[in-house]
Amino acid sequence: MSQPVTMTRRSFLEGLNLSVGGLALGLGPTLTEAEARSKVVPTVLKPNVFVHVAADGVVTIVCARSEMGQGVRSSLPVLIADELGADMARVRVLQADGDKAYGDQNTDGSSSVRGVYDDLRRTGATARTMLVTAAANRWKVKAVDCEARDHAVFRRGTGESIGFGELVRDAARLPVPRAEDVRLRPRAELRNVGGDLPLLDGPAYVNGTAVFGADIALEGMLVAVVARPAVVGGRVMRFDATRALAVPGVKHVVEVPAPKAPYLFQSWGGVAVLAENTWAAMRGRAALDITWEDGGNETYDSEAFRETLLASVRAPGEPFRQVGDVDAAFARAARVVEAEYCTPHLPHAPMEPPVALAWVKDGACEVWAPTQHPQAARTEAAQVAGLPESQVTVHVTLLGGGFGRKSKADFVGEAVYLSKQVGAPVRVQWTREDDIRHDYYHTTAAQRLRAALDEQGRPTAWLHRTAFPSIRSTFSTDVKGPVFRDLNQGVLDLALAIPNVRAEACEALAHVRIGWLRSVYNIFHAFSVGSFMDELAHARGMDPRDNLLDVVGPARHMSLAELGVPKLPNYEAPLEKHPVDVGRLRGVIERVTELSRWSERGKDGRALGLAAHRSFLSYVAVVVSMKKDEAGRARVDEAWVVVDAGLVVNADRVRAQMEGSVIFGMSLALYGAITMKDGATQQSNFRDFRLVRMAEAPRRIHVDIVRSEEAPGGVGEPGVPPVAPAIANALFALTGTRARDLPIIRSHRV
Amino acid sequence: MTTLKVRVNGEDKELDVDPEMPLLWALRDVLRLTGTKYGCGQALCGACSVHLDGQVVRACVTPIRRAEGRSVTTIEGLSPDGGHPLQRAWVEMGVPQCGFCQSGQLMCAAALLAKKPQPTDADIDQSLAGNLCRCGTYTRIRAAVKKAAGLPDGK
């Protein structure tokens, strides 16, 4: 039987006594300021904020990124441990609080491994260097005559060894070596990296002891449920709390102020009911009598907006990518192929709805939250509490899914505001209805693609127009449509071997809060481009695989000039380290068509669809097989995924992310949509926002990881974009009809 | 308020709560058994699945009064040490991603195996039809149920 997860403030802080809240340190190996000033002889080795070796030999490694199912806690610590030469059985992983001392903690953009790979290795190597030096000094030999492995330092050629724990006191007295004096291990010496690493939290996940956002309770805590305006920009005109306050267990009814545009991470406003337990708070909210003022967005209708977006892409937009003379090529074309694609708003719908616990007390604020962005949560909490950030502590729990929703700190702000108002710890619990109705939605898009073909059927020009309200509208009120950076995701970096290319961004105003959803704009850019590639193949009378390889062209690194862009945002990575590598794209296409027996498609009723996409610096190709079931529904029967993410740290979690991406991509391709009428969301729960269920999951998902020593790319998101177009293409192969609007259930029996 | 007697994971409990309070909130907020999760509140996602006298119920829509005098088993009581064959298979096969839905998945799978130790794919699909997993662990769940049942194909 597990212990109830009730913690006092003190015991929780004691449990985290290795954190260094408030001390600004770079990623480099440095002592904290207090430690540097201290005259006390250190008894542990702690060359920086990420690693700590105790005298009993226990190595504590801090995981500064949030665990939301991608397996980051089972992956990042291994980089330090392998460099150190630690035995994973004697490594303990501690989750970092939100603190700039850890560098960037924002767990999004598929950036965890690719962002810290070098830094974490250097951290481990620094600690190893100090332990080896301590051992060498003791034996009075040179450091090169010693090696660290299996949690000890060995003296070469003698069989002598000293455990890490025994070396700690000596090592801790040594100066932290300079970066140039620290040697990284050769790849072959990294024992665990690249393997199938065990799931660190596996046992806790299956016995009920894993601690998520709603699983922490404090003495005297109240649970809050908030009634929020149905329309973005709406506010409370008046409310009557009498009936709510009469519900047994309800303690307070508090108005939450309405935000001002731009909405940023501000809470939605509304009326909160605070009670002794969640049930009483829910009943209290149901008893509220509120009159709302809608505030301008109450005319938003997503079906009408679809027409607005289509009109937008039927006129020229702002050209962000240009090669050759597209207009002249179209004027000369023997044939023109064109198509329009539409995709709806989507919610994130993590299985754990947003939830946060805050306690504002005695000039300080403590928060427990399942946040992807602990530092943004800290900043928001400080602003709402009216305190300096140094007085705010944000503890990160496990996340019951994130997908971008929990990068936003709005729900943390709500908890802080309410705690400050009532003087008690407050847990804000979002219901599923709150989550579906008040999300930062994935944006809705329309796209128009056009290709010119010459007499021989060769593509001579490519025009891509895209219109969607930008995420930037959440952060600024003067955003009229996609900006240059937004087109990085699958438009500017699209590999094409076509002499005349233009990509244009067309106007689109936001009427809801727009946010990041797993793989973001790549979702619809890959859908349109991946579908259009297939349409082009059929127009050319070619095998879709051969057409795709022909259109992306030969293996090469595409220059900015060939791409037709002045620069490439490239997921914040230098192009020299992460080029647009058509060879790698071709590699995953060739491999996935081989594994799926592409050449035998059509036999035994196998209808296959193919798509490939580069995103977050990784290359993924997907083939899906569709069949009709007894009821005549087209079903995804089997899927193959080939991923080239460069060097991978934890192969099993990479496979798991690809498997999950297929299901995530299926849900959005087949069923998912948020529709808005009169400014309000029409869906409310899993009854009307549909996700793939067990029986709809493919029989098998085959994942193949390209063995690579290239710099690591992203993994959490890149699997998603090629899934929807692969499904649309398989559906075409199965039925002869094309789905250009998502979700497919609107036009086909799926 | 009424005092209700419920047996939870083999222990007799007395609860002074609104008899209409869903079992989910009685477990989580009153008994502090937080392994059972809130996901939808309308029996649509299965994250709150527990056993009531051995049968799967969705705790989010089951008033606590329905459990009066009966026996409730939650994920915390599925096995004394996390050693149920399903729990072992789940860990060995790396089933969980975020882990949030897995208590509910396990409780439903455990009820299935108790009733039908050698389930077919169709049995698994049917028994777990009410359990959503947003991370998409379905194919591993299927394989892990088979492994726990000692069936081939469980890898």
For A432-469, give the DSSP string.
HHHHHHS--BBPPEEEEEEEEE-TTS-EEEEEEEEE--
pLDDT digits (tens, 9 = 90+) for B89-135: 999 999 999 999 999 999 999 999 999 999 999 999 999 999 999 99
Which two structure tokens, joined as six digits, stand for A176? 């932290």
Minimum-distance CB partner of B96 among A205, A402, A697: A205
**Residue A532, Cβ neighbours under 10 Å: how many?**
25
Q: Taking Cα atoms as reference points, which of A695, A667, A207, A296 lies closest to residue A509?
A: A296
Count the helix, strand and coil residues of chain A and give each as a percent rounded to the nearest 5.
35, 25, 40
State yes or no: pLDDT of A8 exceeds 60. Answer: no
Q: Is A434 on the interface with B (CB under 8 A)?
A: no
Minimum-distance CB partner of A210 among B86, B99, B121: B99
The answer to whether B37 contacts A217, with C-beta atoms less than 8 Å apart, is: no
pLDDT digits (tens, 9 = 90+) for A530-566: 999 999 999 999 999 999 999 999 999 999 999 999 9
Query: Using a CB-CB distance cutoff of 8 angstroms, which residues of chain A are in contact with residue B77?
Result: 1
Compute the CA torsion angle A433, A435, A441, A444 (nearest 10 deg).
Answer: -30
Q: How far is CA B11 from CA A522, A557, A692, B91, in A?
A: 52, 66, 37, 27
* Minimal CA separation from B57 to chain A, in Å: 17
Contact of A153 with A107, CB cutoff 8 Å: no
Q: Find the residue in A nearest to B45 (Cα).
A: A686
Lowest mean pLDDT across A278-287, A293-302, A322-331, A458-467: A293-302
Q: How far apart are CA A373 and CA A359, in angstroms?
A: 19
State yes or no: pLDDT of A254 exceeds 70. Answer: yes
Question: What pLDDT score does A404 carry?
Answer: 98
State yes or no: pLDDT of A290 exceeds 80. Answer: yes
The answer to whether A199 contacts B91, with C-beta atoms less than 8 Å apart, is: yes
State yes or no: pLDDT of A30 exceeds 50. Answer: no
Minimum-distance CB partner of A349 among B22, B34, B134: B134
Minimum-distance CB partner of A694 among B86, B103, B128: B128
CATH number at A302-347+440-746 = 3.30.365.10
Question: What pLDDT score does A47 carry?
Answer: 75
The answer to whether A202 contacts B94, with C-beta atoms less than 8 Å apart, is: yes
* Minimal CA separation from B80 to chain A, in Å: 7
Minimum-distance CB partner of A659 among B131, B134, B136: B136
State yes or no: pLDDT of A261 exceeds 50. Answer: yes
The share of chain A scoring above pLDDT 70, in percent, equals: 94
Q: Is A700 on the interface with B (CB under 8 A)?
A: yes
Q: What is the SS3 assignment for A216? A: coil
State yes or no: pLDDT of A674 exceeds 70. Answer: yes
Q: How far apart are CA A281 and CA A284, in angstroms?
A: 5
Query: Using a CB-CB distance cutoff of 8 angstroms, which residues of chain B are in contact with residue A208?
Result: 33-36, 74-76, 103
A405 Rama class: left (phi>0) / alpha (psi -120 to 50) / beta: alpha
Tokens 């006092």 belong to residue: A8
The two beta strands, A700-705 and A634-644, are parallel
Query: Using a CB-CB distance cutoff of 8 angstroms, which residues of chain B are in contact with residue A368?
Result: none
Question: What pLDDT score does A37 carry?
Answer: 41
Please tell me the total number of residues recorded for chain B in this structure: 155
Helices (H), A208-241: none
Which two structure tokens, joined as six digits, stand for A215? 């699983």
Lowest mean pLDDT across A121-125, A462-466, A622-626, B138-142: A121-125
pLDDT (average), residues A702-715: 97
State yes or no: pLDDT of A2 exceeds 90. Answer: no
Q: Taking Cα atoms as reference points, which of B52, B58, B11, B63 lies closest to residue B38?
A: B58
> What band does A43 get if pLDDT is binned at 50, 70 and 90?
low
State yes or no: pLDDT of A6 exceeds 60. Answer: no
Q: How far apart are CA A399 and CA A369, in angstroms?
A: 8
Contact of A415 with A434, CB cutoff 8 Å: no
CB pairs under 8 A between A and B: 203
The answer to whether B132 contacts A212, with C-beta atoms less than 8 Å apart, is: no
Q: Is A330 on the interface with B (CB under 8 A)?
A: no
Q: Is A246 on the interface with B (CB under 8 A)?
A: no
Q: Find the residue in A nearest to B83 (Cα).
A: A207
The answer to whether B124 contacts A694, with C-beta atoms less than 8 Å apart, is: yes
Q: How far is CA A551 from CA A526, A545, A586, B117, in A?
A: 15, 10, 11, 53
β-sheet bridge partners, residue B49: B58
Domains of chain B with CATH codes: 2-77 (3.10.20.30), 85-148 (1.10.150.120)
Query: Using a CB-CB distance cutoff of 8 angstroms, which residues of chain B are in contact with residue A203?
Result: 82, 91
The answer to whether B139 contacts A203, with C-beta atoms less than 8 Å apart, is: no
Query: Using a CB-CB distance cutoff of 8 angstroms, which residues of chain B are in contact with residue A661?
Result: 136
Q: Does domain A9-207 have CATH number 3.40.190.290?
A: no
> What band does A16 get if pLDDT is binned at 50, 70 and 90?
very low
In which residue ranges of chain A is CATH 3.30.365.10 found? 9-207, 218-296+354-429, 302-347+440-746
Helices (H), A16-75: 33-37
State yes or no: pLDDT of A33 exceeds 60. Answer: no
* Minimal CA separation from B111 to chain A, in Å: 15
Instruction: Classify the complex by whether its ipTM is higher than 0.90, answering yes or no.
Output: yes
Summary mean pLDDT of chain A: 93
Q: Taking Cα atoms as reference points, which of A661, A674, A671 lies closest to residue A750?
A: A671
The answer to whether A279 contacts B47, with C-beta atoms less than 8 Å apart, is: no
Q: How far apart are CA A699 and CA A602, in angstroms?
A: 19
pLDDT (average), residues A234-254: 98
Q: How far apart are CA A620 and CA A716, in angstroms?
A: 12
Q: Does domain A218-296+354-429 have CATH number 3.40.50.620?
A: no
* Minimal CA separation from A656 to chain B, in Å: 8
The two beta strands, A364-369 and A392-396, are parallel
Q: Is A12 on the interface with B (CB under 8 A)?
A: no
Per DSSP (E only), the strands in A241-391 are: 250-256, 270-275, 289-293, 318-323, 335-343, 355-361, 364-369
